[in-house]
Chains A and B, each alone.
Chain A
Amino acid sequence: MNSLEGFDIRYTLPEDLSYLQKWFEDPSACNDYPFTNDEKSDALKNWIGFGKYKASLTGMINDVPCAIGTLFLMPYRKVAHHCSFYLMVDPAMRGKGIGTSMLKNLLHLAKTRFRLESVHVEIYEPSDLLPLLLKEGFVQFVRQENFVKIDGIGHARLLLEHSFNG
């Protein structure tokens, strides 16, 4: 049990997909991801699919899912020592420290269960996730201008990494 009242974390189950779909009903929820509202269906199914490797965590408040964080494990051996991740918190449950707790637990899962040496993440400017990532020890190592284009306007992608090797 976490210090957050009524908060707990378990491995993601296939039926958690319906919660993820619900949190993405607001089209602006896609702003932090490469897919658009029209393209999210397959992307969310693929996301939940990593649950079968026990690489995905679901945050619960009073036994109701409120967040999902997932390690996108790499498919090839030479790059299996690191991976990227996605994290989504129920828009109605933000500002309570759930994202921070989920990220800490996801990093712990990466380090202890999968013996990863680092975890990286791709975000697009402007991103509300950036302060949380920096607070948790992520370091930006790439900035690529105009990677994303929304309504004809280019936005940079930032790659950040959290190393477990100090």
Chain B
Amino acid sequence: MDEHLTIRFGKESDQKYLIEWLLQPGVLDGFPLHDLREIEDAARIWVSYSSQHAVLTALWDGVPCGIANLYLQPYKKLAHQCLFAIIVDEKMRGKGIGTKLMKDLMALAKERFKLEFIHLEVYEGNPAIHLYERLGFEKYGVHKHFMKDKDKYVDKILMQKVL
């Protein structure tokens, strides 16, 4: 794996990969996004953090295959922590890309931004919950019925990890 997988800082131009991966079948079940307009809006915000070096892009043989970002807080009172997001190209899952991205993101959060903890929002049934648990994230709350998709409610699970 090591010879194939590298991590670099994200760029605004990575937005097209993010949009492509969000549009893959079934992926939007795990995101509160409905259509292309919403996906483009969320992707634009996501990669905008690249200007602060808070986005990491995973490359497999030089081709983007995953992106993770820190939603750095805009306010001083909250600047010791932040939310993050991660996505891996559906075709490239099971290769340890998510784990590597997460470990590098946690190191970035701790060393560059001096964050004390990071937290995430994940929807019930998302298999990524096991990855987060394996990496030491702990559940601190559930927002019931947060997402409503085709009249079916999905709970949002809130997890965090002290760095």
Contacts and interface: CB of A to CB of B under 8 A. Distances in A.
Interface residues of A, number: 26
Interface residues of B, number: 31
A36 B33 contact: no
Given A34-B78, A36-B77, A142 B148 contact: no
A143 B141 contact: yes
B123 to A, nearest CB: 10
A46 B79 CA distance: 20
Interface string B13-54: 000000000000000000011110010011000000000000
B141 A159 contact: yes
Given A76-B38, A78-B34, A142-B158, A34 B141 contact: no
B90 interface: no
Contacts of B147: 78-79
B116 A144 contact: no
A17 interface: no
A144 B75 contact: no
A36 B81 contact: no
B149 interface: yes
B78 A39 contact: no
Contacts of A36: 75-77
Contacts of A148: 77-78
- The 6 lowest CB-CB distance pairs between A and B, nearest first, are A142-B141, A77-B34, A79-B32, A78-B32, A34-B75, A148-B77
Interface of A: 34-36, 38-39, 75-79, 81-82, 117-118, 120, 141-144, 146-150, 159, 161
